[in-house]
Amino acid sequence: MNDLRLLTKIATLYYSNDLTQEEIADRLGLSRQKIGRLLTQAKREGVVQISIHSPLLFSAELEYQLEQRFGLAEALVVEPRADTESAIKEAIGEAAAGFLPRRIVNGDIIGISWSSVLLECALRLERTERKKITVVQMNGSLDRSSYSTRAEYIIHRISQAFGGEAQSLVAPMLVDRPEIKDSLLTDSRIAATLDLASRTTVALFGVGNVSEQSSLYKAGYVDDAMLAHLLAAGAVGDICGRFFDAAGVPCAPDIAERTLAVDLDVLRLTRLSVAVAGTLAKIDAILATLAGRYCNVLITDVATAQTLLEKT
C-alpha cells in the first residue's frame, strides 16, 4: 500500500499539478532519477493511463508503425478530404509543405525531383527564412509533350520560400543515345548542377510507378515500347527517372546510361531523403523504394500506409 501511495502521489504531482520531476524530488526527498523510474513504474502498473483525444490519432499510430517497420526517421500519414488521386496529392503536398520548414536548417542543399505532388507542396509553402539555402534540380525536365512537369516553377518557388538560391537543370531527363548524354555532361553548367545535386543534404522527390498513368509516360519520356521494355526488365518504379525492381535494385541499365539525373545512391547519403507518394497504384513502387532504402522519410496517405503495413 505504501508503494501504491507513493506512486499515486508522484503521478498526481507530475500529471495533475504540473510539477517538474526535479520539484517533486525536492519535495519528497528523492533523486530526480528515482522520480523518473517511479513515473515509468506508475504507467507500467496502470496507475497512470494516458488517453490521447485527437482526430489524427489513427494517423499518428500508423506513422509510428511505419517508422518502426521500415526504419524511417519520420513518417507522415495524411487523411485526404476525398478518395481521389487529386485529393490525395493535395493532402500529401500540404503535409510536405508543413514538414519542410520544421526540418530545413541553415546551409542545406535541397535536391528536388519534379512530380505533381511536389507541385502541390510548392504551391502551399509559406515563407520561412533560412540562411544559405540552395535548391537544386536532381534530374532533367525539358517537356517533351503538352504535359508540363512545372519543374522550374517548383525549384524557384521552394527556393523563394526559404530565401535561397535556385539552380535548375536545363536539359532533358532522357536523351536518345548515351553519346548525347556524354556531350551534355561536358557543358559546365549542366555538370556543375549535377555535382551540386550529388551533395544534396535534403532530397525531396516523388515516386513513380511503371504504367501509362505515370508522370514519365504523360510527359512523353516513356512510350509504349519503352514501357514494355521496362516491365520485361522487372521495373516497378522510378525516382528521378532512375528505374528499379521490386527489391529496390536499379534495372534497365540501357535506359540509365541515357538519363541525366543523380544516381540513386545519392539518396542514401542525404541527411533527409523524403519520398512524397501515395495512392494504391503506387504500392509496389513505394515498397521497392523502402526496400532500396532510398528514403528515410515517407509522406503518404492513410490507405497507402495501411496497405504497406499489410504487405510486409
pLDDT tens figures, 162-171: 999 999 998 9
CATH number at residue 93: 3.40.50.1360
Residue type, 57: L
Q: Which pLDDT band, with edges at 50, 70 and 90, does 1 fall under? A: low
Residue 278: pLDDT above 80? yes
Give buried/exposed letters for 125-154 (b at 16+ CB in 10 A, else e).
beeeebeebbbbbbbbbbeeeeeebbbbeb
CATH number at residue 13: 1.10.10.10
Residue 9 lies in a domain: yes
Residue 197: pLDDT above 60? yes
Residues 196 and 293 in one domain: yes
Residues 40 and 61 in one domain: no
So what's the pLDDT on residue 57?
84
Q: Of all residues in the chain, what percent carry a pLDDT higher than 70?
A: 97
Residues 25 and 108 in one domain: no
Residues 38 and 178 in one domain: no
pLDDT tens figures, 16-47: 899 999 999 998 989 999 999 999 999 999 99
Residues 30 and 103 in one domain: no
Residues 27 and 130 in one domain: no
So what's the pLDDT on residue 3?
82
Which residues constitute the domain of residue 234?
A: 57-310
Q: Which pLDDT band, with edges at 50, 70 and 90, does 242 fall under? A: very high
Residues 76 and 32 in one domain: no
Residues 113 and 242 in one domain: yes
So what's the pLDDT on residue 142?
65
Residues 259 and 188 in one domain: yes
Residues 63 and 193 in one domain: yes
Residues 243, 250: Cα–Cα separation, whole Å: 6
Residues 35 and 65 in one domain: no
Q: What is the mean pLDDT of the chain?
A: 93
Q: Which pLDDT band, with edges at 50, 70 and 90, does 5 fall under? A: confident
